[in-house]
Structures are given as structure tokens and as C-alpha cells.
Structure 1
Amino acid sequence: MSVDVQLRFGSEAITEYSKANQEPAWFLEKRLAGLKAAGELPLPALEKTKIDKWNTAGFDPFQTTAKIASANELSDLVKGQIDVDSVKNLVVQKNASAVFQAVTDELKAKGVIFTTLADALQNHGELVQKYMYQVVAPDEHKLSALHAAVVNGGVFLYVPKNVEVDVPLQAVYEVAGDQALLCPHVLIVAEANSKVTYVDTFVSGEGKDMVANSIVEVFVGAGASVQVASVRSLSAEVHDYSFRRATVDRDGKMEWILGEMNDGNTVANNTTILKGTGSNALTKSISVGTGSQRQNLTSQVQHIGTHSESDMVSKAVMTGEAVSILNGITKIEKGAEKANGVQAENILMLSDKARGDANPILLIDEDDVKAGHAASVGRVSEESIYYLMSRGISRQDAERLIILGFLDPVVSEIPVEEVRNKLRQALERKLG
């Protein structure tokens, strides 16, 4: 059976979509190479999680939607993620269409490029080609190959040398409709001594058998600082696969703030490569598992540069019959002298039928380093509940307050108020 039939789409559909979007020839070549590789490569090997029966390719990749002229015309679902009365720098994508974009003149005057991937391929093609797929290769596994074949949107963010962007730049991604696909590629390039914050949210409307397959690539220049915050609140009808990776040059800093609030099965891999001397990575993530949900969430840092530092904190709350695998991997390469890598994975269990595995892993090939890890899987402290109940708080409210306090050190770091509030609402919803 051919690859085209297996995947419900083929080279003709991909070529037609590419030409309709006026993509450069090299990008179409990447697409067709990805299609071929998708028929040959295995799915990614995941710790304690099998995804061979998950929906990875059963989708219609190019469902499009008309553009709109005003933020007031956005769906209520999307408007709930933004400040409609003060839209400044925003990209909104629904399925395979960028439906809305707003960029201030002030941002443009600084030489910052914040635009859709489709626009960047047309107007900044050489710059995109220089960086795209340099840290997440299309031939790593079947999911990355599929992504390369049917990528249907995303964002390109470029910050010139010595430019600091004071306000967060935001994107909202919506998937809706039967067999719909959301497949954005986010490419962030921060030149030397620049600074920027990018925030995105993933939401879903009505539909069945939906898939999200996203990739984020970040390039942090010498002395630059990049903060990426992402909140995903996709329904149980969406299988979500996300691969985020950053490479950090000398004295650069990469910070990830991640909220995995999906109701459906989720795979997320978040990796930072500390290449330069004195480079730094900070990763904070939270997740809540409910129902029969399955999650496999990996945070990883690779130390290559000397005097590099990393800190990873992952927190999860498990209810129902949900299963969550939290993997923390600190890899210190030979020659990365004076590196310092620490990590902690903490899981709070609210059900006897839920399962949470915290897997801290240290891989050290250098002697002159510091490294540490901590992991815990436990229940809400009865002493803490009793203390709050003695102040007149019901047991249910006491448990909720303890759980929210457990997760709030990450929630409070979200740099956009609307997104932060929505994350808190998602927590309230998932925790009942």
C-alpha cells in the first residue's frame, strides 16, 4: 500500500497547498521529503508510553478558513485568550489558515519581524531557510516527518542584535472540525544581546478525531534572553504532539513556562541545548491528568558549554484513571566543565486509580560539575487539610487550595494576564 493512501493525502495535495501559498521551491522539497520519510520512519520511542494506536496521521491537513479584519470577529473561544480591546502584536491561526494578524509600527521600527510562517516564507525566505529545521530535523521520527510534510502555519519571530522587546508577543492556535489538523511551526531567532517574550495558547472547538502536531525552534544568540510561555487546553478529541527545542549561545538565557492542560492524550518533548559558555536554561511546567488521559512529558537539557546552568521543575496533579509519565533528563557532555544542572519532578495523586511516574535522569560525562535531582509522588497532606479545615474551610475547598498552591509557582510566571487567568480557569475546571 502506498504512503499516499495510508496517510489519506499525498504529494499532489501537498504540492497544491504549497503553490497556493506561494512557498519557495526549497520548502516544497522539504515537504515532499517529509512525506517520503513518514512512510519509512518509526514513531518516536517514548518511556513507558505506546502511541502506535493513537491518532497520528488520520487527519485532513489543509482545512482552511477565511481571514477576518478585526479582533472582534474572532471566535469567542479565541477572544477568551486575548484582550480584545487592546490587541497589539498577535497572530491567530485556525486549522490551516492564519485568520488574523496585528503588529504595531513600534515593533516594526525596531527591525523586529513578527509574522506568520507563510508570510515569512514569501518575504524573508532566505532568513527562514537559514534556521528552519536546524534543531528539530524532519527525519528524526515519523511525527517530525509528518510535520514537515503538512505544516500548515505557525509564526516567525526575528529580533535583531541589541534590540529588547518590552511587551509579550502572542499567538493563539485553534483546531476545530472533524479530522482537522493544527500543525504550526514556530521559529524564533534572537540575535546577540536581544530580549523577547513569546506566548501562545492552543484551544479546540467542536470536532472529532483532531490532531495537533507542532514544533518550536528557538535560537538564542550570545547574551540574548528568550522567554517562551505556552498553555495548551485542547479537548479529549485532540491527540497533541509537541516538540520544542532551543539552542543557546554564550551567556544566553532560555526560559520555558509550560501549562499542559489538555483533556486528551499528549506527548510533549522540551529540550534546551546549552552550547555556549555561561549559557542558562530554566524550565517550569505543570500538567493535570484527568479521566483516562495519557500523558508523556519530557524536559531535557544538554550541557555542552562550560559554566552552563540549568534548572528544571515539573509538577503534575493526577485524578481519575489518568496516567502521566514525567521525564527529566540532564545531560552533561564531556568538556562541559563547571556545569550545574538541577531538576525536580513532583506528582500529586488525587485518585487510587491514577498513575504518575517521575523519572529524573542524570547523564554525566564530565567530572568537574554539579548536578542534582529530586522526585516525589504523593498525596495531599492530611495535616495541611486539617489545618485549613480548623479555620472553617471545607475539606473540598481545602484540597483545592493546596493543589492550586502546589501549581501556582509556575502559573504566576505566565507573562500575559489573560493567558494566566485562563490557565487558572483551566485548572479549576480540570480539578472540579
Structure 2
Amino acid sequence: MSTPISSFGREAAAAIARSKNEPAWLVAWREEAGQLATELNLPKPEKLPLTRWTLDQYGANRPGQTVASAADLPAPIAALLPEEKNGALIVQHNSSVIFTQLPEELKAQGVILTSLEDAARNHEELFRKHFMTAYTKDEHKLAAVHAALWNGGVFLYVPKNVEIAAPIQALLFADDAEATFMPHVLVVADTHSRVTFVEQVASTLGETSSTLLHNSAVEVFAKAGATVQYAAVHQLDDSAIDIAYRRAILDNDARIEWIVGDLHNGNAITDTKSVLKGNGSTSDSKIISIGTGKQRMSLTTQAVHFGLSTESDMITRAVMKEEATAIINGVTKIEKGATKSNGQQTERVLMLSPKARGDANPILLIDEDDVKAGHAASVGQVNAEQIYYLMSRGISRSEAERLIIHGFLDPVVSEIPLEGLREQLHRILERKLG
């Protein structure tokens, strides 16, 4: 049974935490977040009235059935995983993590991969030092609700000087529209470590009158000299609302690479932000999205420069069909004292229908003189000259348009670090563009 957020608060949050036998300090923490949820306002993305969205249902705790091996995973979940399932893998089904697999050689190096709920109990020091310090519970109502109700989730710790060659995978899956589905991913990459993390969020909800609220968060902490490549693909049903706030905090000479396919079928808010705190830190963000039907989306990418000689690059590409609307914001902020920094951004939108709408808003906020910053933005239709050229080579108009669109999105698709997921991404694109 779903409960309106308007009736949700301090006591309800504490009761949920106690029902899961969480530590007393976490019960109190959730209790405080529950109180904030009754006091804070919703975020106010530009030209997107969230008061019209169904954000007042948070669902009920519906844990999945734990399994002992990847071979025992439910068929809909197994179908979303690559054929090779021997690597590091964690799976959440509705409200809980049901399977975790970490190769022995990584365990021997001190790598930790577990549910966030387990980390709160068994890795308290690391958890409390980092959890919801980059994305805080007092930012707005959605953040407070997430802080009070997060479940399952992923905790990954990579020790100093450890370099993990194969991607670590997380599959977050829902098939119950009335489940509380609010995973939180927390990645801590210690000094001079290297890791690739692949997050896949998917649902199979079938016919339902309920709205699944996927209110999620990602926090990445890259310590001095660490490199984190974070790839995410979201493909939820149109009866779900996708809320995804992603944050990275970078120390000296650290690097984050965001590779994101926001391919959800319903309304969505995503906000991907890199905070370049340390000198010489770098951020590279590549994001694609496809809007169909009557989708409403707000897609924001941000880079905030504090350190000296920091660099950020942001590329967002969106394709809008039918009556879909997307507000795409790129924000580069260079703080006073961040000398020799360089921030670049590009937002491009392809419109495939006269009723579709895409707004590209590049924003530069510069408080320092000795820096470089630039932006490019465009909103338009498929290039007629490119179509004519391809048709002159014997290619049909529809196939020419398909090739141009795939080429438009390829800078992100080609960067997905798992071949199986790249192939799956191509299938999603074909379905959404078909």
C-alpha cells in the first residue's frame, strides 16, 4: 500500500528504520530526514511544474528473495545481465539487495562490495564519513524523502593503489509498482585507485494504475590521484518517475568520467554534478537521452571548480520525438581562486516532430579571471543536406535518418564499458526511435 508523503514524517521514518533493525544512530538519522520531508519544498526545475507529478507515493517495503548464485536470479533480471556473470556484481530487486558477488582476488585486495544497508552496520566509519555529504538531505523535499527511505543500494570501496580492470556491475530492478524503490550508490575510491562502475536501472511493471517513484542518488568520492569511470543506463517503464541525483567530489589530481544513458520512458529529473575540489582534478561528462510520447524531462549537468588547474568537459545530446519536452541545462561554475581552470560544455538537441520541444541552456558562472570557459548549444532538426547526401548513395530516407541519429548519439554509446550493455543500449535506442 502506498502512503502519501503528506502523511509521512519523523515517526513513520523511524518506524521503518526500526522494522529493519537498523542501528540506533541510523534510526535517528532517518527520523530527522523524515521531519525535513514535511518542511522542505520540492525542487523547482525550470519550466517543469513538479506539483503536477505523482510524487506523493513512496510505496511499501517489498524486499526481493535473496539467491545464492547468479544462476538462481529471476528470469527477467538474468535477461538484463551479460552472458558472462563471473565478475563483481550486485543486484537489487524492488526494496532490497538479493545477490552480491565479489571475486576472491578483489576481496584479498581489500575491495568491499555490499548493500548500503549492510555497510551501515558493518562499515560504519566509512559509511558515516561519506554518506549523503555530497548530496545532502536538506537540499529539498526529494532529497529528504530519499534520505529517510533509501533501501538496498550499493556500497563500493576501492583501497589505496588498487586498480580494478573489469567493470563492477550493479543492476537495480523493480517489477512491483507499489514497492519503495529508492537505491543509493556510494563509491569511495581511495588514493591512486582506479575502477569502472556500471549501473543499470530497469523495470518491468506491466499494466498498473500505480506510479513507481524511483528516487535515487549516487555519490562518488575520488581521493587524490584516483580515477572513477561511472556508466549508468536507465530504462524504466512509462508508469515510473525517474529521479536521479548524481554527485562526485574530486580531490587533488582525481578524475571522474560520467557516461549516462537517460533512456527512461516516463517523466524524469536527472542532475549530474562534479565538484572539482582538488588541484588538477578533472571531470568528463557524456549524457544522452531520447524523449518520446508526452515525456517531460529535466536534464542538468554541472561542474563546479574550486581547485587550481582543474578541467571539466560536458556533452549532452538529446533526441525528442512526438510531444516530448526536455529542459537541458549545462552549468559550469568557476569559483574565485580556481586559476588556470578550463570548463567546456556542449548541449545539442535533435527535434523529430513539430510538437516536440527541447530547450538547451548553457550557463557559465565565472568568478575568476585567469581561466578558460566555453559553451556551444543547438536545437534543430535532422540536417537536410546529410539526408540528401545519404539518399544520393541509394539509402532510403528513413534509413538515412536512423543512421544520422545513431551517429549523433554514438559519442556516448561507444563509451559504455561493457559490450553486452552497449548492445542492449542499441536495442533500447532502436525501440525508442522506431
Give the TM-score normalised by the residue count of structure 2: 0.96
Query: What does residue 118 of structure 1 align with?
Result: 117
> Residues of 1 paired with 2:432 and 2:72: CA distance?
29
Query: What does residue 37 of structure 1 align with?
Result: 36
Structure 1 residue 72: Cα displacement: 2.6
Partner amino acid for 1:256? W
Query: What does residue 369 of structure 1 align with?
Result: 371
Query: What does residue 275 of structure 2 align with?
Result: 273
> Residues of 1 paired with 2:171 and 2:4: CA distance?
32
> Residues of 1 paired with 2:189 and 2:407: CA distance?
34
Of residues 221, 234, 244, the one that matches 1:219 is 221
CA contact (8 A) 1:72 1:84 kept: no
Structure 1 residue 62: Cα displacement: 1.1
Structure 1 pair 330–203 and aligned structure 2 pair: CA distance change class (3 A): same
CA contact (8 A) 2:299 2:327 kept: yes
Query: What does residue 382 of structure 1 align with?
Result: 384
> Residues of 2 paired with 1:313 and 1:5: CA distance?
37
Question: What are the within-5 Å matches in structure 2 for residues 10-409 of structure 1?
Answer: 14-206=13-205, 207=208, 208-409=210-411
Say which SS state the counterpart of residue 86 (structure 1) adopts.
Answer: coil
Say which SS state the counterpart of residue 153 (structure 2) adopts.
Answer: strand
Superposed CA offset, 1:119-154 (max 9, x none):
111211121011111111101100000001111121
CA contact (8 A) 2:10 2:33 kept: no
Say which SS state the counterpart of residue 97 (structure 2) adopts.
Answer: strand
Structure 1 residue 14: Cα displacement: 3.8
Structure 1 residue 16: Cα displacement: 4.5
Query: What does residue 428 of structure 1 align with?
Result: 430
> Residues of 2 paired with 1:40 and 1:12: CA distance?
14
Say which SS state the counterpart of residue 254 (structure 1) adopts.
Answer: strand
CA contact (8 A) 2:9 2:37 kept: no
List runs of 5+ in structure 2 lacking aligned partners.
none
Say which SS state the counterpart of residue 50 (structure 2) adopts.
Answer: coil
CA contact (8 A) 1:223 1:251 kept: yes
> Residues of 1 paired with 2:225 and 2:67: CA distance?
39
Partner amino acid for 1:116? S
> Residues of 1 paired with 2:35 and 2:253: CA distance?
39
How many residue pairs get aligned? The number is 429
Structure 1 residue 222: Cα displacement: 0.7
The 10-residue stretch of structure 1 (379-388 or 319-328) with the greater mean CA deviation from structure 2: 379-388
The 10-residue stretch of structure 1 (133-142 or 201-210) with the greater mean CA deviation from structure 2: 201-210
CA contact (8 A) 2:194 2:227 kept: yes
> Residues of 2 paired with 1:406 and 1:61: CA distance?
41
CA contact (8 A) 1:189 1:218 kept: yes
Say which SS state the counterpart of residue 51 (structure 2) adopts.
Answer: coil
Say which SS state the counterpart of residue 181 (structure 1) adopts.
Answer: coil
Structure 1 residue 390: Cα displacement: 2.0
Superposed CA offset, 1:257-300 (max 9, x none):
00010110000001100011111000000000000000100000
CA contact (8 A) 1:8 1:58 kept: no
TM-align CA RMSD: 1.5
Say which SS state the counterpart of residue 288 (structure 2) adopts.
Answer: strand
Give the TM-score normalised by the residue count of structure 1: 0.96
Partner amino acid for 1:129? R
Partner amino acid for 1:63? R
> Residues of 2 paired with 1:213 and 1:358: CA distance?
24
> Residues of 2 paired with 1:161 and 1:178: CA distance?
40
CA contact (8 A) 1:267 1:295 kept: yes
Superposed CA offset, 1:29-66 (max 9, x none):
12111111001100012122111121223131411221
List runs of 5+ in structure 1 lacking aligned partners.
none
The 10-residue stretch of structure 1 (68-77 or 246-255) with the greater mean CA deviation from structure 2: 68-77
CA contact (8 A) 2:188 2:221 kept: yes
Q: Displaced runs of 4+ in structure 1, greater than 6 A?
A: none
Structure 1 pair 104–317 and aligned structure 2 pair: CA distance change class (3 A): same
Give percent identity, aligned residues only. 51
Say which SS state the counterpart of residue 121 (structure 1) adopts.
Answer: helix
Structure 1 residue 84: Cα displacement: 4.2
> Residues of 2 paired with 1:12 and 1:377: CA distance?
48
Of residues 397, 410, 413, the one that matches 2:412 is 410
Superposed CA offset, 1:315-344 (max 9, x none):
000000000011000000000000000000
> Residues of 2 paired with 1:273 and 1:64: CA distance?
34
CA contact (8 A) 2:30 2:148 kept: yes
Say which SS state the counterpart of residue 428 (structure 2) adopts.
Answer: helix
> Residues of 1 paired with 2:318 and 2:296: CA distance?
13
> Residues of 2 paired with 1:310 and 1:202: CA distance?
26
